[in-house]
Structure 1
Amino acid sequence: MYISVYQKFLKALKHYNNSKKKLSILIAISGGQDSLCLVQLIEKYNIINQYFKDIEYIYIDHQWRCDSKQQIKHLINYINSTKHKISIYQINYNDMSELMARRIRYQILIKHAKNHQQQIICTGHNKTDHTETFLINLIRGTGLEGLYSIPLIRKINQRTYLFRPLIDINRTDILWFCRKYNLPIWSDKTNFNYKNHRNRIRHEMLPYLKEYFSPQIEKHISDFLDLSSLENEYIKQNAIKIYLISRDKNYIAMNYKFIKNQHIALQKRVLQIFFYYHFNKFLNKKIVYKILNNINKNHMSKIVIIWHNLYINIYKNWIYIQ
């Protein structure tokens, strides 16, 4: 089991960086089994190979629990044994949603990494997290793009990458690893609050699917996500090529004759790229189909669609924005 966990960790590291240049890494921890497993793997590997020139840990405390101060002390004591620095951030908004808390966490991580010139932000997301996120997004009604939402590597900006070296390791193997090395896992009572959708999926939905449908449900979902990721990447690359051909180089405009005869999946993607690139906005389903219905008809007069504060003009093979 240890070989399996360690080998998958090594595979993730090799996949991330083939260069000999040593990088600085910021590791987000929580005190749970995933983050302590990550600490153990990185520290042991770096002692032998000196892979990272600088390691720093970061903990973001939402102060949701009555034992948050004790947990901070616990983490500081543990990280001190590694001889590396740990930074603590505290958030004082107790009534924020889970989604908002997640956004703030990532904002803090990215800003901290930028200020300290760290090229890698590392988190302890694992294979089971990936399965849970897939089920959450599926219930919310996501498309193909939203299914594979926790990749191994994600580029944040020109200097910084988000890296998840445990993403191919399931939670059961991580727990075994932690017990083998007697890692001091901090038990988080909020993980059993069923108002949180992820907790309900973790403790009720997945065990039910394993018991009554397939013991290998996590593997089947993982295989499906891998296949979907390849197909999604193919569609994405083709959409980008079409967008680059159809866009105007001087104005916020796009010649839609290049997408008119394409499959609707590519038409939708190209439109999404156009609006996200210029306005950082995701088109909703209603507006996407309204635009597509109009560009696939032969209108002699100009069509204007109002969305938020944008005037989307469709006229003579062109979409342009006012």
Structure 2
Amino acid sequence: MNSKFNYLKILCKAIFKFKIMNTYLHQKFNKQIKRIQPLGNILVAISGGQDSLCLIKLIEDFKQKQNFSGTIEYIYIDHQWREDSKQQVKHLINYIHKQSIKIAVYEIKKIIYSELEARQIRYQIIIKHAISNDYSTLLTAHTETDRIETFFQQLIRGTSLDGVTSLKYYRQLKPNLKLVRPLISIYRKDINWFCRKFCLPIWSDNTNYQYSITRNRLRYELLPYLKQYFMLNIENNISKFINISNQDNEYIKQNAIKLYLISRHKTNIALNYLLIRKQHYAIQARTLEIFFYHHFNKPLHYNTLIQIINLMQKEPIDHQILKWHHLIINIHNNWIYIN
């Protein structure tokens, strides 16, 4: 009798555990993570917010359920923007250690107030850590809501199609390192529900409520206003637009890469503009952007881009010279080249 009772007890626990680990967020996450082949060793970039804690929970449940044998490590970058940043780090470390998992914490000594500069430094540290420790997959906790907010930020700045679709599910950072955002199809409201369901210890970040930060103003003022006065399901519609734009952008990008490969000089830093100017304006622009970013790791300014394209259309072209940063762009003898 006791053996039957114990068996039923174990069975009930197993069923309960399966249900706990089988929420619709678990299902969506597992579906996304299984798209990554090969998965390899994983580095997870986190903060103390609800998105990160949700990601930690999903990863640990996935690891347990799928008997994942690879290495998983978490990484946190402390920008020291807040007075309580050290307390947040301790809070996060305590939670991570209770889960018996690895975490690396980096502290940036120089306080940086530019969001863009901070992001660049953060990614430099994370990528360097990933490469030096042989991680092949980098996961971040970006959500669908982040993607929509990024869309508005880029739109306000006057960006391109590439800019409004910049937050993608997958991106190859290095030959042996890929960036994956497994929560990119999940809205923040669903993550909030998930964190409440599992009583995850979210650290309340007061900078999330400072309206001097553009993203916060978008989150708490613009989007609610658009929902209330224009369209209730505006987030879904924007997501659809981003998905469609992403497909268009990928088509342009792939064709631009092909054109770049056939029009570049075999030995010198130069492009054959006769081949480029035959193409559609969008392909011309993207090919030039690829050329300059590939060689100089700098985006080509829009006005300079327009100047180059306009000069390429002239017939015949005299030797034209444009200044770009500390470099000289030459357009001469069928070639665009740099001095």
Q: Aligned residue for 1:289?
A: 306
The alpha-carbon deviation at position 307 of structure 1 amounts to: 2.0
Q: 1:32 pairs with 36, 39, 49, which one?
A: 49
The 1:52–1:97 alpha-carbon spacing in structure 2 relative to 1, beyond 3 Å, is farther
CA contact (8 A) 2:75 2:104 kept: yes
* CA displacement 1:77-123 (0-9 Å, x = unmatched): 11112211111111223353121111111111111111211111211
Alignment of 1:188-227 (within 5 A): 188-227=205-244
1:166 aligns with 2:183: yes
Q: Report sequence identity in percent.
A: 53
AA in 1 matched with 2:326:
N
How many Å separate the matches in 2 of 1:317 and 1:139? 37
The alpha-carbon deviation at position 265 of structure 1 amounts to: 1.0
Secondary structure of the corresponding residue to residue 245 of structure 1? helix
Q: Aligned residue for 1:44?
A: 61
The 1:43–1:261 alpha-carbon spacing in structure 2 relative to 1, beyond 3 Å, is same
CA contact (8 A) 1:118 1:160 kept: yes
Q: Aligned residue for 1:136?
A: 153
State the TM-score, normalized to the length of structure 1. Answer: 0.95
Alignment length, in residue pairs? 319
CA contact (8 A) 2:40 2:137 kept: yes
Q: 1:63 pairs with 80, 85, 102, which one?
A: 80
1:119 aligns with 2:136: yes
AA in 2 matched with 1:49:
Q
State the TM-score, normalized to the length of structure 2. Answer: 0.90
How many Å separate the matches in 2 of 1:89 and 1:164? 21
The alpha-carbon deviation at position 197 of structure 1 amounts to: 0.3
AA in 1 matched with 2:26:
Y
Q: Aligned residue for 2:14?
A: none
Secondary structure of the corresponding residue to residue 195 of structure 1? coil
How many Å separate the matches in 1 of 2:317 and 2:192? 65
Q: 1:7 pairs with 8, 24, 27, which one?
A: 27
The alpha-carbon deviation at position 281 of structure 1 amounts to: 2.3
Q: Which has the higher contact order (CA 8 A, sep 6+)?
A: 1
The 1:311–1:73 alpha-carbon spacing in structure 2 relative to 1, beyond 3 Å, is closer
* CA displacement 1:20-59 (0-9 Å, x = unmatched): xx62111122111101110110101101212351111111
Larger Rg: 2
* CA displacement 1:216-254 (0-9 Å, x = unmatched): 111111000000000011111111111111111122222
Secondary structure of the corresponding residue to residue 243 of structure 2? helix
Secondary structure of the corresponding residue to residue 202 of structure 1? helix
AA in 2 matched with 1:103:
Q
CA contact (8 A) 2:79 2:112 kept: no
* CA displacement 1:116-159 (0-9 Å, x = unmatched): 11111211111100000000000000000111111111111111
Q: Where does structure 2 lack aligned partners over 5 or more consecutive residues?
A: 1-19
How many Å separate the matches in 1 of 2:304 and 2:97? 53
How many Å separate the matches in 2 of 1:212 and 1:300? 53
